[in-house]
């Protein structure tokens, strides 16, 4: 259930690229991550200004994410089912200790500047922690929330957090009403399944740690009594901090999932009171708008879309929140249909399941939804705008979309039914094939090796 164990498995598979050249945490490491985005796990062992620190990135691509969920590669439907079941039937994690163990290093005085926090893009406000797993509880301990947030480092002990009006925001407002600051833990370097659980939508009051426990078959936590919050026991770095209810600071700009800079907003200040870390801790850096960012944010939404569409059509093979659609705004859905109206019902169900969704393409199961050329071919040969287009005007959209109405958070949504009409001869919509003999197959193999 640790990041180290997961990376050990990746190393055995030859999926880790170690980079020993000295690189600056300001832009240089980010440039390498972006150039190799979605490829091997990257391990940077020579971070300028941070001797002994190791930065890891590109931990999750789609195949590794499926492995993190304990399913075989290609079994995306099984992964959706497992994620949905974990959200519906969470299991209680186990608290193994209070406070740090002896093998952890505790900074005498917390100093965020000693961590290899990266500055990613030109125009960013400064160095950002992008893989922060933030945990908080209500004052009586009855409600716990775990979510992933970005944190702009302001100094040795202070950061500012991007807090959207969801569950952590609600706990922060509750603390303000009680005239207190909100105690939190910030964990960096956790198993990918824990990050995925933290981005899975569950009702307020359901702890995402319990979802992670179901995904992993058990999760061990540490109790941080000074802040009334818990953290994964196997995290590489754990911070105890307070989310101030009476102190705000400008947050942003930072590149978000769309690859464009987000707006500057007044956001709550976080003050760190203690930092604990493992010996030679691994600092996990997630490239904003990179494959890892899109998957950790989007994969749970794919599962939600899969569940919703499965209720209105005979079968859903897979869902892809596409990289070109920012892993958030565009979906391609592969379905089996019984009647021609199934695809339109699938479109409406998908738009309802993921309110940020802007464009949906529904295709037959013979189309590879991860291949943009095949999806475009299906639109070119199986779609008629006069009959197969669904438009929804003035719907709630995503504030991440710069083309949407930012003040009202509304947008126009579109669905494309790119499936074969059932009353037509399928052969007219199928690609022609060339028979392949064993002799030709062997010749092609030799030519590709040459």
Q: Which of 37, 256, 388, 417 is catalytic?
A: 256
Output DSSP code: residue 23.
Answer: B
- b (16+ CB within 10 A) / e for 48-86: eebeebbbbbbbbbbebbbbbbebeeeebbebbbbbbeb
Q: Distance between CA atoms of 208 and 416, rounded to whole angstroms?
A: 34
Distance CA(10)–CA(7), nearest Å, equals 5
**Cα(402)–Cα(413) distance, rounded to whole angstroms?**
14
For residues 159 and 150, the answer to whether their CB atoms sit within 8 Å is no
List alpha helices for 73-127, DSSP H.
76-88
Q: To which residue do tokens 């109790």 refer?
A: 223
Q: Smallest Cα–Cα separation from 182: which of 125, 255, 131, 243?
A: 243
CB 289 within 8 A of CB 323: no
3-state secondary structure 28-70: HHHHHHHHCCCCCEEEECCECCCCCCEEEECCCCHHHHHHHCC
Token pair for 96? 């193994």
- Has 262 been annotated as catalytic? no
Q: Coil, strand, or helix at residue 432?
A: coil
What is the residue-wise DSSP string for 141-196?
SS-EEEEEEEEEE-SSSEEEE---TTHHHHHHHHHHHTTSPEEEEEEES--HHHHH
Residue 253 preceded by cis peptide, ω within 30: yes
Tokens at 164, concatenated? 């959207």
Q: Which residues are catalytic?
A: 256
């Amino acid at each position: 259930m640790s990041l180290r164990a997961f990376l050990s498995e990746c190393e055995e598979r030859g999926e880790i690229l170690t980079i020993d050249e000295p690189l600056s945490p300001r832009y240089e490491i980010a440039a390498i991550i972006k150039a190799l985005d979605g490829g091997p796990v990257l391990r940077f062992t020579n971070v300028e200004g941070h001797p002994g620190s190791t930065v890891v990135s590109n931990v999750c691509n789609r195949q590794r994410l499926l492995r993190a969920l304990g399913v075989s590669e290609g079994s995306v439907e099984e992964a959706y089912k497992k994620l949905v079941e974990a959200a519906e039937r969470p299991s209680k994690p186990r608290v193994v200790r209070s406070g740090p163990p002896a093998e952890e290093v505790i900074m005498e005085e917390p100093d965020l500047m000693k961590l290899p926090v990266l500055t990613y893009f030109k125009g960013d406000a400064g160095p950002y922690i992008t893989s922060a797993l933030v945990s908080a509880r209500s004052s009586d301990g009855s409600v716990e929330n775990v979510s992933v947030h970005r944190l702009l480092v302001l100094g040795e002990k202070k950061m500012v957090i991007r807090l959207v009006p969801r569950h952590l925001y609600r706990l922060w407002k509750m603390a303000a009403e009680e005239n207190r600051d909100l105690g939190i833990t910030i964990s960096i370097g956790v198993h990918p399944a824990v990050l995925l659980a933290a981005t899975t939508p569950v009702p307020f009051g359901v702890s995402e740690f319990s979802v992670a426990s179901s995904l992993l078959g058990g999760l061990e936590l540490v109790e941080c009594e000074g802040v009334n919050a818990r953290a994964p026991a196997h995290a590489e770095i754990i911070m105890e901090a307070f989310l101030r209810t009476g102190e705000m600071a400008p947050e942003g700009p930072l590149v978000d999932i769309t690859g464009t800079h987000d707006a500057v907003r007044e956001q709550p200040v976080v003050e760190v009171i203690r930092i604990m870390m493992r010996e030679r801790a691994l600092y996990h850096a997630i490239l904003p708008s990179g494959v890892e960012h899109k998957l950790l944010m989007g994969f749970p939404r794919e599962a939600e879309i899969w569940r919703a569409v499965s209720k209105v059509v005979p079968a859903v093979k897979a869902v892809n929140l596409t990289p070109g659609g920012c892993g958030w705004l565009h979906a391609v859905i592969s379905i089996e249909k019984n009647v021609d109206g199934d695809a339109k019902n699938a479109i409406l169900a998908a738009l309802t399941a993921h309110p940020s969704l802007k464009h949906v393409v529904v295709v037959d199961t013979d189309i590879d939804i991860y291949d943009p050329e095949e999806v475009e071919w299906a639109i070119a040969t199986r779609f008629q705008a006069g009959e197969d287009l669904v438009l929804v005007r003035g719907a709630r959209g995503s504030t991440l979309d710069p083309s949407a109405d930012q003040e009202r958070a509304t947008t126009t949504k579109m669905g494309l039914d790119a499936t074969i009409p059932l009353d037509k001869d399928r052969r007219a919509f199928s690609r022609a094939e060339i028979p392949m003999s064993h002799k030709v197959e062997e010749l092609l193999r030799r030519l590709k090796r040459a």
